[in-house]
């Protein structure tokens, strides 16, 4: 593809804009009316708590059903996303910038003193725009932070499914594509089954909503996490039985660590006396969990995430570095985030954190780092 055709492919058509707006509208309307478990979030500094309707799994099934019906009735081809991938990428990028600008302006003008909406400004325009001004901005009753991460995870699944259909239509389905798709479906389905665990993550309870999270949720997650699928659409890789088994082991090992660590943290926050691996939890200073996966490394969930990310790329073989962009990026991101976490925790917990570091010396990789 020459440069002019590539640049033209990035220009959003009205069809791609309509698809994107229809998607976000669907999530906003049906996310508000479909039944789901209402989960209280973390207690904020002013004593308030937000409540989150965790109906993402139902939203997922309903949307896939509606898209399936639309494809059967020839209203929207199932390969629409795969056919307009670059258009949708650029349209979503523009949308993320516009949303961030609105969030910045609304945040600057806010006089609300609640923990969720109190403006936090540094005086540095770029820093405030990047990291955000308000902790939990809302729009028509929607918590935007929770809404955007849901949009990104579901968008990732829709891209993958569209790429899979296109692969089948082109008679190019391979073991590698099946393996990649299977791992992603398990991971995404698991996310929505345990969607309430998201309410206790650092992004939800501590990060303000700025371009970093908006772009990360609705652009980065769906469009970079699916790179392997796009690559396999144009490159067929045959795997040996040994490679398939090894790839499955990496995925399920990472999945168990990632899900297990996040579940332990979530349950500990709900009930600090809940058993961890059948035993009473070891707690440092009455606040920090030092049992289970959290007794192995201070950020053991990051290790699980990295192994899962690697398993998404392994089906692509080793002939190109392109499919390994996601795990490479994630490794850099999590090292950076771990350093930010360490600094914040040291400021928040002080002597307790110092004691915790002595008890659990490893950051992410046990006996290594």
Helix (H) or strand (E) holding 262: helix 241-270
CA distance 268 to 283: 10
DSSP 265: H
The four Cα atoms 148, 333, 260, 288 give a dihedral, to 10 degrees, of -100
CA distance 350 to 345: 7
Strand partners, 288: 284
Q: What are phi and psi of 204, to 5 degrees?
A: -75, -45
CA distance 286 to 68: 51
31-63 burial, b at 16+ Cβ within 10 Å, e below that, comes to beeeebeebebeebeeeeebebbbbbbebbeeb
pTM above 0.95, yes or no: no
**pLDDT per residue rounded down to tens, the chain (369 residues):** 555 665 667 788 889 999 999 999 999 999 999 999 999 888 888 888 889 999 999 999 999 999 999 989 988 899 999 999 999 999 999 999 999 999 999 999 988 888 888 888 888 999 999 999 999 999 988 899 999 999 999 999 999 999 999 999 998 899 999 999 999 999 999 999 999 988 888 888 888 999 999 999 999 999 999 999 999 999 989 899 999 999 999 999 999 999 999 888 888 888 888 888 888 889 888 888 889 999 999 989 999 999 999 999 999 999 999 999 999 999 998 998 888 888 888 888 888 988 989 999 999 988 776
Percent composition of the chain: helix, strand, coil (DSSP 3-state, to 5): 65, 5, 30
- Tell me how far apart the terminal alpha carbons of the chain are, to the nearest angstrom: 43
* C-beta atoms surrounding 280 within 10 Å: 10
Q: How many residues does the chain have?
A: 369
DSSP 229-257: HHHHHH------HHHHHHHHHHHHHHHHH
**pLDDT of the residue at 54:** 94
DSSP, collapsed to helix, strand or coil, labels residue 24 as helix
């Amino acid at each position: 593809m020459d440069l002019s055709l590539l640049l033209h492919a990035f220009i959003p058509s009205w069809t791609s804009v309509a698809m994107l707006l229809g998607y976000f509208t669907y999530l906003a309307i049906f996310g508000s009316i479909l039944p789901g478990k209402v989960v209280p979030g973390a207690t904020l500094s002013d004593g308030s708590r937000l409540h989150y309707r965790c109906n993402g799994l139902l939203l997922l099934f309903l949307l896939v059903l509606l898209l399936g019906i639309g494809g059967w009735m020839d209203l929207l081809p199932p390969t629409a996303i795969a056919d307009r991938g670059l258009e949708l990428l650029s349209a979503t990028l523009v949308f993320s910038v516009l949303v961030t600008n609105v969030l910045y302006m609304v945040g600057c003008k806010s006089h609300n003193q609640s923990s969720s909406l109190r403006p936090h400004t540094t005086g540095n325009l770029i820093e405030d725009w990047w990291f955000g001004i308000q902790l939990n901005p809302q729009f028509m009753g929607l918590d935007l932070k929770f809404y955007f991460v849901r949009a990104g995870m579901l968008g990732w699944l829709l891209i993958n499914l569209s790429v899979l259909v296109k692969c089948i239509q082109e008679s190019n389905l391979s073991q590698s594509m099946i393996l990649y798709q299977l791992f992603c479906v398990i991971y995404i389905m698991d996310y929505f089954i345990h969607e309430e665990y998201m309410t206790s993550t650092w992004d939800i309870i501590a990060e303000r909503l700025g371009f970093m999270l908006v772009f990360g949720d609705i652009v980065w997650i769906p469009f970079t996490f699916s790179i392997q699928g796009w690559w396999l659409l144009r490159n067929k890789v045959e795997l040996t039985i040994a490679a398939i088994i090894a790839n499955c082991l990496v995925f399920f090992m990472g999945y168990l660590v990632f899900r297990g660590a996040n579940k332990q943290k979530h349950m500990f926050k709900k009930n600090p006396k809940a058993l961890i691996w059948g035993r009473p939890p070891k707690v440092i200073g009455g606040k920090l969990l030092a049992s289970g996966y959290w007794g192995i490394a201070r950020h053991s969930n990051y290790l699980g995430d990295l192994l899962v990310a690697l398993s998404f790329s392994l089906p692509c073989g080793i002939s190109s570095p392109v499919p390994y962009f996601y795990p490479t990026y994630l490794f850099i991101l999590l090292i950076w985030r771990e350093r930010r976490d360490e600094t914040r925790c040291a400021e928040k917990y002080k002597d307790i954190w110092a004691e915790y570091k002595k008890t659990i010396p490893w950051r992410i990789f046990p006996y290594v780092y």
